[in-house]
Structure 1
Amino acid sequence: MIKTLPNNNLATGVNYYIEGVNLLWRKELRLYILVPLIINLIIFFTLTATMFHYFNSGMEWMLDKVPSFLHFLKWLMWILVGAILLLCYGYLFNAITNIVAAPFYGLLAQKTEELVTGKKMADEPIGQMIPRVIGRELRKIFYFIGRGIFVFFVLILLGLVGITSPLVPVVAALWGSWCMAIQYVDYACDNNQLDFGPMRKRMRANIYSSTGFGGMVMIASMVPIINIFAMPAAVTGGTAFWIKELKWQQ
């Protein structure tokens, strides 16, 4: 059951993700969650092992280059590099799992909508659904890359100016939240034949809910082990967002 909260609200967006977590325990969805979870586990162990290997070797190489009089800053370098790597890890984990598990996420969003609304949706042949869903996934990736390059240069400019440098993490977090919201709301929108452009317009009209929801997904995806379950919860939560708020947005 989706709680009734004010539309277009940060807290409402956060609640959609919580609803998504609660929906994971519904027995009607277990079969559709199992395959994405197995895929996530495989990617998680592979990516995490690779990250730790290169992080340790990379840090040893970097610290060897630090002059002796700056050795007292080593702890700060560990924190900064670790934070950057963790952010990259979260994005990379999302990108890989979303491409591989996209058809299963689309099916999970469909079954979630049927469970919540009590209305049966038209079934689509697997052979037709897989190319469509993967094509939509690639469209999202091109959108993220294209806009992301622009955001990257904005972040550089903000960082070069002392007075605006504190805005860098804020802008980066907002952009990350927006990307995560688009990524996981899109499955339900695609199932309902809402094109990518109109979907983004509806989400911009509900920017606070989108930010709250996407921010929760971003935080969960950056935490190892939790991120294994974060993606399916984001799909079910994004479907709740669609049903409650975006479906009726003109």
Structure 2
Amino acid sequence: MQGSPGKAIDYFFEGARLIVKPGFRRFILIPLLINLVIFVVVTIALFHAFGDFFTQIQAWSPTWLNWLTWLLWPLVGFVFLVVYGYSFNIITNFLAAPFFGLLAEKIETELTGTAPPDEPWGQLIPRTLQREAVKLWYFVSRGLLIFALFVVLFFIPGANLLGVLIGVIWSCWCMAVQYSDYPADNHQLSFRELRRKLNKQQLTSYSYGGIILLGSMVPVLNIFVTPIAVAGATLYWVREVKQL
């Protein structure tokens, strides 16, 4: 496997330092406001879903199995957090895609001195939303298969952790693809070709996605993770992915 987890960490933290510089702050204001609204809605939904899930499990389980229910709750809680981070990112990126594309463009221009091909807002917004729909279909269609596999493995003793691991790896890949797509889309690179390029640097790509997923699982911090993720992914694009 090619790539390096260390590079992924460097890209993320360098992206965090980059977006607070003068000239970039105005490009993250609207995405942060969108993130704030989504954070409130998704967090409330998570707490209700988590509580309802355990209420149903306890209602269905015989009394003598209640100890097993409480034994499983840390594992189920972790799964809910992964789903929370995954859902937060998917919804946020669908709504804020045009602004994240613009942020990626400005960062690339700052890094290289050359701007991606210019595009009027009237073309940019519908095209980026269409691109988000393509990504959403990719994530959801394959994600449902991963979820089905997870459900099957969850009820097999000793295999439930494997199901969680597969789900986490898939979520890491989705995060890497999602955020690397902004600079790639500015150059109108096909979604399939982007995935092929990212797969050539698997350790960097999966590690970068994992950092984003981890940050997205932490309430409040996840509000700020998405613009940082765009900046770090743009650095990754300029320095490595673009040349692959």
TM-score, length basis structure 1: 0.88
2:177 partner letter: I
- On the 8 A contact 1:15/1:213 being kept in 2, the answer is no
CA positional deviation for 1:80: 3.2
Q: Percent identity?
A: 41
Task: Give the match's secondary structure for 1:198.
Answer: helix
Quote the residue 1:136 is aligned against. 131
Structure 1, unaligned runs of 5 or more: 1-6
Do the aligned residues in 2 keep the contact of 1:180 with 1:217 (CA within 8 Å)? yes
Q: Which residue of the partner structure matches residue 246 of structure 1?
A: 241
Paired residue for 1:82, among 77, 82, 107? Answer: 77
Whether the 8 Å contact between 2:82 and 2:168 is mirrored in structure 1 is no
Match of 1:16 in 2: 11
CA deviation profile, 1:166-204 (whole Å, cap 9, x unmatched): 432322221111111000000000001211111111111
Is residue 79–residue 164 contact of structure 2 (8 Å, CA) maintained in 1? no
> Does 2:39 correspond to 1:44?
yes
Match of 1:220 in 2: 215
In the alignment, the residues of structure 2 paired with residue 45 and residue 161 of structure 1 have an alpha-carbon distance, to the nearest angstrom, of 35
Distance in 1 separating the partners of 2:85 and 2:128: 22
Q: How does 1:149-188 map to 2 (within 5 A)?
A: 149-155=144-150, 165-188=160-183
Deviates more, 1:75-84 or 1:148-157: 148-157
Residues 41 and 59 of structure 1: CA distance in aligned 2, closer, same or farther (over 3 Å): same
1:196 counterpart letter in structure 2: F
Aligned AA for 1:198?
E
Shift in alpha-carbon separation, 1:78–1:167, aligned structure 2, 3 A? closer
Q: Secondary structure at the match of 2:6?
A: helix
What amino acid maps onto 2:204 in structure 1?
S
1:34 to 29, 38, 43: 29
Q: Post-superposition shift, 1:54? A: 3.8
Cα distance change, pair 71–213 in 1 and its aligned pair in 2 (3 A): same
CA contact (8 A) 1:10 1:213 kept: yes
* Contact kept in structure 1, 2:82 and 2:213, CA below 8 Å: no
SS in 1 for 2:240: helix
Q: Which residue in 2 is equivalent to 1:53?
A: 48
Contact (CA 8 Å) 2:172, 2:208: kept in 1 or not? yes
Deviations 1:68-88 (A, max 9, x none): 323334532432332222222
Amino acid in structure 2 at the alignment position of 1:128? Q
Equivalenced residue count is 243
| Matched position secondary structure for 2:24 | helix
Q: TM-score, normalised by structure 2?
A: 0.90
Could you say if the C-alpha distance between residues 77 and 40 of structure 1 is closer, same or farther in structure 2, counting changes exceeding 3 Å?
Answer: same
Q: Work out which of the residue numbers 116, 125, 131 in structure 1 matches 2:120.
A: 125
> In structure 2, how many angstroms separate the alpha carbons of the residues matched to 1:247 and 1:116?
13
> Over aligned residues, Cα RMSD in angstroms?
2.2
